[in-house]
């Protein structure tokens, strides 16, 4: 199976106007859209669209995905002039005991012939809004190398960051096959303004088989992970406020009306 469990840590580092660093342990699931029915049937502790210790609800993603995650992403690829029908693998934190919050979920979108053709970055904020950025992969980039992409910021995320910024993504995609177990995955996001990088975030994780035993171990070693992520966000925000970092709430714009912003391939870091 392409689906897997990834265990690692997330690092956030603010560079300006005050230096501030946060790091915590996390786990994520890499879920192949075509394998969801088999995972639902095979795993005792994971369900699709149903309450469980771990669960995936399509309504937590995109525009609500009434037609299903696979159809939703295929539709976005087709609307962007890309090939649909290839492998789609979603890196995300599942619901844990019915609760989930994903600051960033990443869809690895493959061409029907196999190569990675695009990344779909789905960003959520604590105001209940989400917006995605669909960025084609440079066909000259190495298949298992480090992919560098960028896009302008379209949705308000943090009250400590201005809207006039752009994101720079650094992606080490998942590996598959016999050599995949124990391999590393990386997702980096830098928020830049006119003066350079203001915030740097990085996920580094190791691939493990997606089994009931692995899920139970992840739950015990990372109890109530999604609640801890939200709690950490608000706790760090309080510390920044106490240190005098200003807020950008006065003119908070509404989220874009469209679910996805398509970024031309020519946009490079």
d(CA 95, CA 54): 5
State the pTM of this model.
Answer: 0.89
- Per domain, the residue ranges of the chain are 4-262
pLDDT at position 268: 45
List the chain residues with pLDDT less than 50: 143, 267-269
User: Smallest Cα–Cα separation from 144: which of 190, 191, 177, 107?
Assistant: 177
DSSP type of residue 66: T
Residues 6+ apart with CB under 8 A from 188: 169, 170, 171, 200, 201, 202, 203
User: Concatenated DSSP letters for 74-100?
Assistant: HHHHHHTT---SS-EEEEEPPEETTB-
d(CA 238, CA 3): 37
Cβ–Cβ under 8 Å, residues 126 and 209: no
pLDDT at position 157: 87
d(CA 12, CA 26): 13
pLDDT at position 142: 54
d(CA 134, CA 152): 12
Sort 225 into a burial class: Cβ within 10 Å, 0-12 / 13-18 / 19+: buried
Q: What is the C-alpha radius of gyration for the chain, rounded to an integer number of angstroms? A: 18
pLDDT at position 84: 93
What 3-state class would DSSP assign to 54? strand
User: Smallest Cα–Cα separation from 220: which of 2, 7, 78?
Assistant: 7
User: Concatenated DSSP letters for 144-202?
Assistant: TS-EEEEEE--S---TTS-SS-EEEEEEEPPP-STT-TT-EEEEEEEEEETTEEEEEEE
């Amino acid at each position: 199976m392409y689906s897997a469990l990834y265990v690692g840590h997330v690092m956030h580092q603010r560079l300006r106007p005050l230096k501030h660093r946060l790091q915590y342990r996390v786990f994520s699931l890499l879920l192949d859209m075509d394998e969801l029915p088999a995972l639902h049937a095979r795993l005792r502790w994971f369900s699709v669209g149903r309450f469980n210790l771990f669960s995936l609800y399509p309504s937590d993603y995109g525009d609500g995905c009434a037609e299903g995650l696979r159809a939703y992403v295929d539709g976005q690829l087709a609307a962007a002039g890309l090939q649909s029908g290839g492998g789609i693998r979603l890196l995300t934190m599942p619901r844990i005991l019915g609760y989930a919050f994903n600051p960033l979920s990443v869809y690895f979108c493959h061409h029907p012939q196999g190569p990675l053709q695009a990344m779909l970055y789905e960003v959520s904020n604590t105001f209940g809004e989400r917006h995605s950025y669909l960025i084609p992969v440079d066909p000259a980039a190495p298949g298992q190398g480090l992919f560098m992409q960028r896009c302008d910021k379209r949705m308000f995320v943090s009250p400590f960051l201005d809207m006039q910024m752009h994101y720079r993504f650094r992606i080490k995609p998942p590996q598959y096959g016999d050599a995949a177990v124990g391999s590393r995955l990386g997702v980096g996001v830098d928020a830049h303004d006119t003066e350079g990088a203001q915030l740097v975030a990085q996920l580094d994780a190791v691939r493990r088989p997606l089994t009931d035993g692995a899920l139970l171990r992840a739950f015990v070693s990372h109890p109530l992970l999604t609640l801890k992520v939200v709690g950490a966000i608000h706790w760090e925000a309080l510390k920044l406020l106490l240190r005098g970092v200003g807020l950008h709430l006065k003119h908070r714009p509404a989220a874009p009306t469209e679910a996805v912003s398509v970024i031309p391939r020519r946009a490079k870091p």
